[in-house]
Structure formats: structure tokens, C-alpha cells
A = this chain, B = another copy of it.
Amino acid sequence: MSERPVESNVDKHTEEAIDEPRVIDILDSKQLGHRIDLINKAIRIQLLEDGGEPPVLYETTRHLILAGGKRLRSLLVILCSEAVGGSVEEALPYAVATEFIQTASLIHDDIIDEDALRRGVKTTHEKYGRKMAIIAGDLLVAKAIKMIGEKSSPELLTYVSAGAISMCEGEAADLLMSTNSKTEVYTKKNYLDIVRLKTVAFMTSAAKVGASIGNANQQQLEALITFTENLGYAFQIRDDILDVIASQNGTGKSVLSDLKGSRCNFLLAHALEDSAVEKRDRCVKLLDNGELYYALQLIDETHAVQYATLTTQQYIDDAKNAIRNQGFENEENLVLLADFVVNRLY
């Protein structure tokens, strides 16, 4: 994936943005909100009716997943299924399984990053301890496998596991970036390679699962994959923007956690690449000592927020283009999801 945007597009996009529909809260959309309600209900049934032992393990498992979340992966399963004529009901168990695996990865990531806050609540290990949180993540994965196994869909399982493998690889690559000398490895190209594994691959798995449930043909499948890949990059870069600009209450996450943890962030990659060598070296040295102010100054100097915003807009344009004129029954909902991804404040 080449880096974006081409500079000459800056003005065009800034003007266009005024006319775009803005979905900043996913629940603003009745169509998407209704599907999220169904997902949430199915999650609750799956995690409450089980009545597992010991109770504190199941409480730990529920903590983060019931604290909300954008349900982006599970929505992708449902919307990609509906696009090609599948029903919400058929897609729902897979949507929930996808959400379980995603939540498991967040619980483990928060332990790895030592983050204290997510979705406006304490992270799972902060509330229940690191040990119980590791087990809770493992349990969610096992539950997800069981759900898919019960539906007798080994092909879909291959999609999900391939996405999960990439997610592990991306998480490890991201972790390594923080321990390497940042000036050389902290490029937008490396960033996009990591994001492809860490974020995009599992979203694409979700799309493939949905498309398969609805029996998509090859052209439809490819369109939905292209849509989701672009959506995935936009989603992650938007996350990075929010990490830098949002207040803690807005995102429900710790602010500047990427910079504090030296994890890969698109704005920082842009700022470092766009600055002279001596500034770059100084920035990295200060970050290693936990000093963030100079990184924020370079982000400001290099207009990284604007650059990143335009980049997300271009990805979203490509996402929307991919699904146009494909005869998808729910094109409008896919567009709503794309708009949410790029405009969201949380």
C-alpha cells in the first residue's frame, strides 16, 4: 500500500468535505444502531446464559465487551452478508464470535501496553488483575471457536484464524517498533505494513466471513474486500488522530497512549519523516525519556493532523468507490459505516 495523499489533492478534499454527510456517532444512524442492538443482545445472551464457573472469570470476560465498543468487525460481518442477500440472523453468531476474538486481542493488548483505560472504563487487567485478564482473553477465543464450530463452518474458521494470525504478527511487529531505534524504522511505509497485519487483516476476515454467508460471487467478494481494506486503514489512522487530539472523555482511552508507549502512530511517522534529521533524532531521544512535548511540536509543525485527516478521507473515498454499482442491497448502510469510520470522535 503506497503512502497518501498526493499533495495536489489537499484543496479538493478540504472543499469536498463540507458537503459530505457526517456520521460522528454510529448510533445516529438508525439502520446501523439497530444492528448494533442485535449484536449487543446476542453477546449478552452468549456470556450471561452460560453461567460459567468460576463466576469471577466470566465477570472478567464480560467487563470490556459489555462496556460498549464500536462493534465495527461484527457490523462488517453483518453488512457484508446483507450486501449479497444474506440475513442478519444467519450472520449474527459469526458477528459475535468475531467480536469475542477482537475483544480478547484488546484485553491482551492492554496488558502488553500497560494501558489503564479503554471504552471509558478501567482496562480488564486494571480491574481484575493481569493474571485473570490473560485467562479471560483465552476464554473469549475458545468461546468464539466453539460458536463457529457449532455452526459447522470450517471454511469461515480458516478466514477468522488467518486474520487472528496476522493480528498476532502485527501486534508483535508493533511491539518491536517500540524497542528499535525509531528514526530508521518509524516510517509511514513500515506503519502501513504493521497496520495491514494488526488491524486490516482481521477486518478483512470479518468481511470474507460475511460475504461467504451471503454466498457472494468472486466479483462481489473482491469489492467487499477492497471496501474493507480501505476502511481498515482509515479506521486505524483515525484512531491515531484521536489518540493525539481527543480528550480522554471523548475516546474512553488513555490520551497519547501511542506516544507514551512508543507504539506506531501515523501522525508521528509523518512528523518524523517530514522533519530534518537533527529534529528527528531529538524527538526520538525525548520520547525514549518519556517526554512527549517535542513530538507534539513536530506533529504540529508538519501539519500531521491535517495530512492524516486527508489520508483517511482518501481511503474512505476508495472504500466507497469499491462498492458502487455492484448492486449491493445495502449500499447506503456500507456508506454510512464508512462515513462513521472517518468522522467519529470516539
Q: Which residues of A contact B (CB under 8 A)?
A: 52-54, 56-57, 60, 104-105, 108, 111-112, 130-132, 134-139, 141-143, 145-146, 148-155, 157-158, 160-162, 164-165, 167-169, 171-173, 175-176
**With A111-B134, A157-B154, A158-B150 known to touch, is A173 a contact of B54 (CB < 8 Å)?**
yes
Find the B residue at minimum CB distance from A165. Answer: B142
> Which of B112, B135, B173 is A168 in contact with, Cβ under 8 Å?
B135
Contact between chains at A169 and B53 (CB < 8 Å): yes
Q: Do most interface residues of chain A lie in helix, strand or loop, or is the interface mixed?
A: helix
Q: Known contacts A142-B161, A161-B145, A161-B149: does B108 contact A168 (CB below 8 Å)?
A: no
Do B161 and A157 have beta carbons less than 8 Å apart?
no
Residue of B nearest to A113 (CB): B131
B172 touching A56, Cβ below 8 Å? yes
16 contacts between A and B (CB under 8 A): A52-B169, A57-B172, A108-B138, A132-B172, A135-B171, A135-B172, A136-B168, A142-B165, A142-B168, A145-B160, A145-B164, A149-B157, A149-B158, A150-B158, A153-B154, A154-B157
A162 and B134 in contact (CB under 8 A), knowing A56-B172, A152-B154? no
This chain: copies in complex = 2
Residues of B within 8 A of A171 (CB): 135
Given contacts A152-B154, A152-B155, 7 further A-B pairs with CB under 8 A are A52-B165, A57-B169, A108-B138, A135-B168, A145-B164, A149-B158, A151-B154
Give the chain B neighbours of A52 by CB distance below 8 A.
Answer: 165, 169
CB-CB < 8 A to A158: which residues of B?
146, 149-150
Please, which residues of chain B bring their CB within 8 A of the CB of A175? 131-132, 135
- Known contacts A154-B151, A158-B150, A175-B132; A138 and B54 CB within 8 A of each other: no
